[in-house]
Amino acid sequence: MCTNADCKPYIYDPAVGDPVNLVDPDHPLPPGIAFEDLPDDWRCPDCGSPKSYFRPTRR
């Protein structure tokens, strides 16, 4: 979950992937990619924050 106060918050779901991929919009990230396996430069699709702004959520 993104912890940026200006975010909705966005929760990354590996079952969905990231169809937006702000870093490289021509290459959406498909379902099945674990958060840990996202590229280091990946950004929150809602607010643009880096991975360091994310914290695990309980399911």
Q: Which domains does the chain have, with CATH numbers?
A: 1-59 (2.20.28.10)
Across all residues in the chain, what is the average pLDDT?
94
pLDDT band at 38 (very low <50, low <70, confident <90, very high): very high
pTM: 0.87
How far apart are the C-alpha atoms of 17 and 25, rounded to whole Å?
13
The per-residue pLDDT for 1 is 96
φ/ψ of residue 43, rounded to 5: -125, 150
Confidence class for position 59, pLDDT limits 50, 70, 90:
low
Measuring CA to CA, which residue among 14, 7, 12 is closest to residue 48? 7
Average pLDDT over residues 31-43: 96
Report residue 9's pLDDT band, with 50, 70 and 90 as the boundaries. confident
